[in-house]
Chain A
């Protein structure tokens, strides 16, 4: 009975384009949420997979004891891939030579992620990591693979028979790349890989040996989570579950920030999309007033009327969601295609599939948007007095402002909550948005008010335009405010992206050190520098290294302090050695870069008192304050030093990092070795061989491959961010279009009157163009102003860096905004100005 007319009306309205904007706005909201959440999630999965190379697995469970088989069986049941390794230090003997090595006994198809490259041929002068073939699993029993420098140090060739403990092994391969090789300047023993089955034969492992078993797992995120949940209650204090995010790597940081950026961009996008939907829903309901009044006159009951509109709304919602999902999917795929194309081989082959979550959240967005934002306009619509059919200007009384405002806020909050899954973040975003929109609207209204004073004459397009703006002062200011908000968000996201990318790039500047030298004796420093100079290489960051142990704080012995946490991190987590153990100390006259002081002051080079600067984390853990006195045991000698500063250390940086740095007075006379770093270019590899041959005691730590990989990942994330930014900009532009479109309707009536009064088409066209120019320019100015304020706030209080105005930004935003808005606006009103007055009148009724 009501179904047929309802669908007919809807189909006709769709065909006539009356619902296009509403539909577009819904589609936009759903599409952008879907593409952003989907893209973000998939990018994250892809990058985490990629970054998992650094762990050689998705997760590692490290333990001081072997794991019970029952636990490993659970992993098996969940179909997780498994491997494990045990690391220990041991001495390798070859003929008369011996060297301390760091052995890694592996099982299963290690590595589960990334690749292990082994060469069974002598290495050439090429870059080491370009040689060898990808290998999985351990060497044959009775065989070992060794780091290239071991061959040089032990003066042996492939095929040599070496001894580790009581077992003998054939050297059958050279390790050219190890995915999870650690960057640890203080654990320098060269790597040996052997089969786990051979460990017993070496008889090195004695009861009581301090060991670190690492169990590697990989599989889907869901399987991994499930496994973790089942084993979590069984974990002991000396067992540690790690993923790439727990890694103190630049990758983890980049991922974390990229995700935050994405979240921020999406949240702001959601708010904007929501306002667009709200205003289009309002416009739509406004145009339905006559229909509802007429239906009531026909004697259609209010329940039927509600059903009719609910059905229409449901259909529009469905259409919006379906098309939004389609568009969002296309955007995601394009994004991935772009990223993949740009960086070949950098993404995993099997792209992670679209997550159910992002589909669900997009659908929910569509439903919340159309229902909640249509609620108050619809309620108003249903209240239309039926007398409107006779008294045409009768309109339903406005709903209580608090009520409709409350619903609007609640709807946005729901969306934010759905998306961010964080109440506090949603609340903050919502209140900031509310505050900003009130401020902006006020500002725009003020500007419009100030511009008044010119008398209305129907002959100048300028006057017409200004009069039109003032006549709809509130609408105009809301319009300007929303365009300004869209612009502002665009600008903030643009500038923030640049900041982020800059910061990442700075972490690993090109040409930064990719090799470190350690164990350099004082006598070797000069000749090594000379050798390097032959290859046009200069060393940098020369640090003396002295081993020592903090034995007391303010005369209080600390002995076995913190032994548990040191157990967990026996060898390969950079910079995490516990404080109870022997540490690498250094002395310096000046504060190392990227070590900002949190408290206290750096010393003068000529200070004679023994002074020490301590890393913030350890200071907090051991409750060490400024002016505490530390006793440090170095060899047989004990020195006492006063804490004069507390430093922040960026453990993510590929630089020598120290818990304790002392001054020249304290350590200057102590015997020490040195570490230094240098940048090795593509064709300078022969230097490495020279160094190893001439200075067998010196250790070389290569981080070039890691740095390359980090750069790749950072490039990828940057690219993705750029893409997301473009997406957001497109999104915002569409919102702008919607805003301008909305004003088209409002202008219709005015045009009719003006045209009937005899205003020429040309005059009207100009007036419209000027009006939109003014709107755009005002929006541009307000947007730049607020962006500058926001950036000033962020830079002064959050990132703490000097702020400077962006004069060009003012120019470009204002010009760009006014041109775009004018173009779109005149285009939208083009049709109206083309029509004759009588046609206009007819369209109006």
Chain B
């Protein structure tokens, strides 16, 4: 069994998809580990398979072969419903395109996952988070009344409200200018530290990647380098 301190263990992960003229291998024998509370950046060229990997780690998709353990749970053996409930308990998300529900206000967007999970004093937490992301006076604004950076801040607050053990972010600053991007990055790291969350992020931003404790570099579906080199990689 995996030691307690590793929250994510990936062993020989493969992902293939059927395309019209055969099968396409997107991920090939990927293995790595992530310690609890660690910050990890997945970098690599466009099309190298970063998003696909992130999706597999978060249980959004299932691998063709290989193993993924999330906090000791064998993700690769779970069916869709089980993965869903695992996500509800352990996982938070930040997306490149923010994905706020346009019909809900900023505050309601933050509240939504907490309400769905049936958390107590969700309102209080939401207001608190809204304040932490510096938008306490914009709570009743709708997403289309917010700037991109502001929307992403709302999305960050939303990601933290369920106090997930792991936070996944796919190019969280990809749609933002560098000033706003930096702000978002700072905010993310600050909250991450405060909540002691494990953070896995995909990014093209070298500065952001440098900020992370571990960097996984992808190339054509394969993990080409893990830095700093980990002693316990199998």
The chain A residues found within 8 Å of chain B, CB to CB, are 1-2, 4-5, 8-9, 12-13, 16, 18, 290-291, 294-302, 304, 385-387, 389-392, 842-843, 845
Contacts and interface: CB of A to CB of B under 8 A. Distances in A.
Interface in B72-102: 80-81, 84-89, 91, 93, 95, 97-99, 101-102
Contacts of B112: 5, 298
10 contacts: A4-B115, A5-B108, A12-B103, A16-B103, A298-B162, A299-B86, A299-B87, A301-B88, A387-B61, A390-B54
A389 B60 contact: yes
B66 interface: no
B37 interface: no
B104 interface: yes
A9 B104 contact: yes
Nearest to A839: B144
A299 B98 contact: no
A298 B61 CA distance: 14
A1 B81 CA distance: 18
Given A294-B101, A390-B55, A1 B115 contact: yes
B116 interface: yes
Mostly helix, strand, loop or mixed at chain A's interface? helix
Interface residues of B, number: 35
Contacts of B58: 297
Nearest to A294: B99
Given A298-B88, A301-B85, A9 B103 contact: yes
Contacts of A389: 60, 93, 95, 99
B116 A298 contact: yes
A299 B55 contact: no
Contacts of A297: 58, 60, 87, 93
A315 to B, nearest CB: 14
Contacts, number: 87
Contacts of A5: 108, 111-112, 115-116
A5 B117 CA distance: 11
A1 B85 CA distance: 15
Contacts of A392: 97
Interface in B35-62: 51, 54-55, 58, 60-61
B71 interface: no
B51 A391 contact: yes
A389 B171 CA distance: 12
B101 A299 contact: no
B221 to A, nearest CB: 15
A1 B88 CA distance: 14
Nearest to B98: A845
B97 A300 contact: no
Interface string B119-148: 000000000000000000000000010000
Nearest to B61: A387
Given A845-B97, A845-B98, 10 more contacts: A5-B111, A5-B115, A12-B108, A18-B103, A296-B84, A299-B87, A300-B84, A302-B81, A385-B61, A392-B97
B85 A299 contact: yes
A291 B93 contact: no
Contacts of A18: 103
B93 A1 contact: no
A299 B117 contact: yes
Most chain B CB neighbours (cut-off 10 Å) among A295, A296, A843, A845: A845
A9 B99 CA distance: 15
Contact of B87 (A1, A298, A387): A298
Contacts of B91: 299
A745 to B, nearest CB: 13
A12 B107 CA distance: 14
B104 A12 contact: yes
A392 B87 CA distance: 20
A299 B85 CA distance: 5
Contact of A299 (B88, B95, B103, B111): B88
B113 interface: yes
A304 B88 CA distance: 13
Contact of B60 (A290, A295, A387): A387
Contacts of A302: 80-81, 84
A792 B180 CA distance: 69
A1 B118 CA distance: 5
B95 A9 contact: no
Contacts of A300: 84, 88, 116
Contacts of B99: 290, 294, 389
A209 to B, nearest CB: 84
Contacts of B80: 302
A390 B144 contact: no
Contacts of A391: 51, 55
Contact of A8 (B54, B98, B102, B104): B104
Contacts of B98: 845
Nearest to A291: B101
A20 to B, nearest CB: 13
A299 B60 contact: no
A1 B51 CA distance: 31
Question: What are the nearest 4 A-B pairs in CB distance?
Answer: A299-B88, A299-B87, A12-B103, A1-B118
A705 B155 CA distance: 81
Given A387-B60, A390-B54, A299 B144 contact: no
Nearest to B103: A12
Contacts of A385: 61
B128 to A, nearest CB: 19
A128 B103 CA distance: 74
Contacts of A4: 115
B144 A842 contact: yes
A304 B116 contact: yes
Nearest to A842: B144
A299 B84 contact: yes
A752 to B, nearest CB: 14
